[in-house]
Amino acid sequence: MTTQIHTGAQGTVGAPAGGWRDRKRYLWLLGLFVPTMLFLMLPIVWGLNSLGWHTGSQLPFWIGPILLYVLLPTLDLWVGSDGQNPPDEAMQRLENDKYYRYATYAYLPFQYASAIFGAYLFTASDLGWLGFDGSLGWLGKIGVAMSVGTVGGVGINTAHELGHKRENLERWLAKITLAQVCYGHFYIEHNRGHHVRVATPEDPASSRFGETFWEFLPRTVFGSLRSAVELEAQRIRRLGRNPWNPATWLGNDVLNAWAMSVVFWAVLIAIFGPTLIPFVIIQAVYGFSLLESVNYLEHYGLVRQKTAGGRYERCTPQHSWNSDHMVTNLFLYHLQRHSDHHANPTRRYQTLRSMDGAPNLPAGYGSLIAVTYFPPVWRRLMDHRVLAHYDGDITRANIHPRVRTKVLARYRAVAA
């Protein structure tokens, strides 16, 4: 397995390490726009209210969905692909450069500031300082909740980056990041479940050919939750302990992660009142649904074949859909270079490479998240790519049981 050779704007991949530099080094800080975007919208909200546009002044609070469904796709189309891989000589230097990890650490305080500020905006009865006559209407409230959910959803990706690392600090920061959207079990299931079962029918986080996002969503949410509980119980049993004994609960990584969510939101509900509960639910559901829409497109229809011994083949670049669109990669810490991530789970985001042999998506994740919501559009865009990836042999794909008979019958008819 080799990496693609790219020539970047700031140097050639094959150049000596001293002559190569990461042209995205300071662009990674653009990712901090997400957890600060609610605050950045305040002057616009105030300005629109000053003009008397009181309904329109609530639209900037929808900045989260606007970013995902409008701004990122537009910027991906405008800027295009990255085209730069770090050379072998630069890898260790990049891995050891703490600037990159501090860029991810910085997400957390802004994330929680945004969640608390969003809770205030959702429940405040007097927002006269922003030009409103009283509280926000439901247009603004839902927008705030969705934008805070966007912060939490992108935060899951930050947690994904941190949770793969060996340092205890980063693993705890991962669970803290996940607490906002009440998805702390992702820390267990992703690392010990998904990375083991990826691109197999047994993996709840790998979508199947012909499976709609709306079928996939409950399967992955409940399947991943069940898997996380079982995996953690197995770990505790291996230590010779009873996972259901209250004495082990503090050391249970699923339960202590969920406890963080309970404590955080219980405190905010105590401060802002029970009217905050719809906000908690909306932001959490929207936040983790963003993660699952990305899961849906990362391995759609791809499957590892079984060897003669009945085991699945090793995960290779062919088992993940990739995209090298620069802007979305900046916001998601190179998540779109997904094949390299599965090959090297502990590799830090700044050193992930675009891999040879990996199937490529027609656009960046930012452009495709919304497409996953519309099954006919998604299938028209992706099904023929899955077929082409398997050289026309759809029997080699991970086919959803609901459509398996129809798909195989159509394939045999065409082959005949």
Q: What is the pLDDT of residues 283-333, one digit of tens each?
A: 999 999 999 999 999 999 999 999 988 899 999 889 999 999 999 999 999
191: Cβ contacts below 8 Å, ≥ 6 apart: 163, 164, 345
Query: What separation, in Å, do the N-terminal and C-terminal C-alpha atoms of the chain show?
Result: 35
Question: What is the structure's pLDDT at 250?
Answer: 85
Low-confidence stretches of the chain (pLDDT beneath 50): 1-17
User: Is residue 195 a contact partner of residue 346, using CB atoms and an 8 Å limit?
Assistant: no
* Distance between CA atoms of residues 122 and 215, nearest Å: 31
* Distance between CA atoms of residues 297 and 322, nearest Å: 9
CB atoms within 10 A of CB 153: 28
Question: What is the structure's pLDDT at 413?
Answer: 80
Question: What is the structure's pLDDT at 13?
Answer: 34
| The total number of residues written for the chain in this structure | 416
Does residue 407 lie within any of the structural domains?
yes
402: Cβ contacts below 8 Å, ≥ 6 apart: 210, 211, 215
Q: Which domain holds residue 74?
A: 25-83+91-413
60: Cβ contacts below 8 Å, ≥ 6 apart: 41, 44, 45, 48, 143
Does residue 10 lie within any of the structural domains?
no
List the one residue out of 339, 234, 183, 148 whose CA is nearest residue 243. 234
Condensed to tens digits (0 to 9), the pLDDT of residues 364-413 reads 998 999 999 999 999 999 999 999 999 999 999 999 999 998 988 888 88
Question: What is the structure's pLDDT at 3?
Answer: 37
Number of domains present in the structure of the chain:
1
CA 154 from centroid of its chain's CA atoms: 6
Does residue 118 lie within any of the structural domains?
yes
Question: What is the structure's pLDDT at 16?
Answer: 42
The CA distances from residue 170 to 105, 129, 284, 368, in Å, are 9, 38, 22, 29
Does residue 152 lie within any of the structural domains?
yes
Does residue 6 lie within any of the structural domains?
no
Does residue 374 lie within any of the structural domains?
yes
* Distance between CA atoms of residues 120 and 128, nearest Å: 13
Question: What is the structure's pLDDT at 344?
Answer: 86
Question: What is the structure's pLDDT at 18?
Answer: 54
Tell me the backbone φ, ψ of residue 203, rounded to 5 degrees.
-90, 115
Q: Which residues pair with 11 in a beta bridge?
A: 8
Q: Which residues pair with 325 in a beta bridge?
A: 81
Question: What is the structure's pLDDT at 416?
Answer: 64
The CA distances from residue 294 to 226, 242, 367, 412, in Å, are 20, 35, 11, 32
Does residue 15 lie within any of the structural domains?
no
User: Is residue 119 a contact partner of residue 39, using CB atoms and an 8 Å limit?
Assistant: no
188: number of CA atoms within 13 Å, CB side?
Answer: 25
